[in-house]
Amino acid sequence: MGTHGNLIIGQSGGATAVINASLVGAVEAALQDTRVGQIYGMWHGIQGLLQDEITDLRAQPAQLWSEIKRTPSAALGSCRYKLKEHDLERIIETFRRYEIRALLYIGGNDSADTVHRIAQAARAANYALQAISVPKTIDNDLPLTDHCPGYGSAARFIAMATMDSTMNTLSMPWHYPVKIIETMGRDAGWLTAAAALGKRDERDAPHVLLLPEKTFHPDRYLAQVEEAYRRYGYAVVVAAETVRDEHGQALGAVGQVGVDAFQHPLLSGAAQYLVELVKERLKLRARFDKPGDLQRMASFCVSEVDREEAYLVGQAGVQAALAGETDKMVTLQRQDEPHYHCTTTLAELSEVANVQRLLPEDFLDEQNSMVTDAFLNYARPLIGEPLPVYPRLERTKVTL
């Protein structure tokens, strides 16, 4: 990126509780460097860019950025838009018109693919452009990075939601003794696994995890639920919305409501299916909780570690562009000494785009229904402050 080159920033995909921290990290890094000319923002990502919906971020009040950093969702607006071939020529023409020499795009797998394609198009057009992908996804499934900003806060939410919803079940376990909690996560079980972060002994929920990496078998599921119910008087199951049967069919396909721009199924119905199976086969009352968008952007469950790392990758994205890097994604590299923290490096987008990192085998027990200490040790630093411990009254019966 040459001196006084202009920078443009966009946000893409499902918004999170900390995606704005990455935006602020990038803007503040750019504001502090005299090599950056104009700082533009695209409204609603690439989709807005194609419609010339561009804003001047330098014109924003300086004090606004510290407030935006702590605001959930995408301040610039987001999109799910898959580039068409004719879009690329139009994007490069727009960059020429605005003299944009650096692109930062904050998003997940599909966004990485978008940046990769734009970088290739710029190279083919002999247009000097530094195109950097800044990671973000609660799915935590980007390769070559220890974890993804957004995951730590979503993981904290799911862990606490599981703990709190279980407390309600415990208050009247005979009323609805079986509870299903459905999480997001597409094809990777990282978020579902996070439900176990508050589990301290075998009595605690969750009792069963249903992960998209593992084939769903109805009889096995029912046996696990029944065993937990007989042992503890209730059973809590946390299931990914994309759990699939032996035919590769998502359990939620019965409620599928189409696909997004990248042809990912828009599913609903996994939790309902699991509840109906319990009611029909085990004759137990069951219900489900579906946190939906709350798990992605609940501001009251933000991990401060997550927020600061989101800010860090935004800063690193600008620094990479100023150093002349292109067609790269910022990655987080874990350092455990003298205490947990992360540094940043870069990865080739050709090795990131459209690649998913699934939950490793050693993060699951032999039954593939609960996490191991390896997962807990991995995830606990990401969720910030320790989770609360809920005490239990001793059942001391009074006899006269």
Task: Pick the range with the lowest mean pLDDT from 17-31, 240-254, 284-298, 320-334.
Answer: 240-254
pLDDT at residue 118, rounded to an integer: 98
Average pLDDT of the segment spanning 280-300:
94
CA distance 131 to 349: 10
pLDDT at residue 262, rounded to an integer: 52
pLDDT at residue 394, rounded to an integer: 87
Handedness of CA 191, 193, 195, 200 (dihedral sign): negative
DSSP 51: T
The angle formed by the CA atoms of residues 203, 209 and 213, to the nearest 5 degrees, is 160
Which residue type does 115 have? V
Cis peptide before 291 (omega within 30 of 0): no
Kindly report the CATH class assigned to 5-137+300-351. Answer: alpha beta
Residue of 110, 139, 289, 327 marked catalytic:
139
pLDDT at residue 271, rounded to an integer: 93
What fold does the segment set 151-296+358-383 form as a domain? Answer: Rossmann fold (3.40.50)
Helix ranges, 3-150 (H): 19-31, 45-49, 64-68, 85-98, 109-124
pLDDT digits (tens, 9 = 90+) for 354-365: 889 999 999 999
pLDDT at residue 307, rounded to an integer: 98
* Cα–Cα distances in angstroms (integers) from residue 381 to residues 69, 169, 294, 305, 306, in the given order: 21, 28, 22, 8, 9
The reply to whether 362 belongs to the active site is no
Residue 255, classified by CB atoms within 10 Å of its CB into exposed (0-12), middle (13-18) or buried (19+), is middle
pTM passes above 0.75: yes
Q: Print burial letters for 86-109: b (CB count within 10 Å at least 16), e (below 16).
A: ebbeebbebbeebebbbbbbbbbb
What are the residue ranges spanned by the domains of the chain? Answer: 5-137+300-351, 151-296+358-383
pLDDT at residue 73, rounded to an integer: 95
pLDDT digits (tens, 9 = 90+) for 140-171: 999 999 999 999 999 999 999 999 999 999 99
pLDDT digits (tens, 9 = 90+) for 83-92: 998 999 999 9
CA distance 376 to 154: 15
Paired tokens of 356: 């998913």
Residue position matching structure tokens 């909780």: 289
Interstrand relation of 100-107 and 5-11 (parallel, antiparallel or unpaired): parallel
CA distance 191 to 6: 37
Residue position matching structure tokens 């299931």: 239
Query: pLDDT band at residue 28, thresholds of 50, 70 and 90?
Result: very high
Average pLDDT of the segment spanning 5-9:
96
Residue 76: closest CA among 121, 20, 25, 116:
20
Between 260 and 150, the more confident residue is: 150
pLDDT digits (tens, 9 = 90+) for 107-146: 999 999 999 999 999 999 999 999 999 999 999 999 999 9
Could you check whether 5-137+300-351 and 151-296+358-383 share the same CATH topology? yes
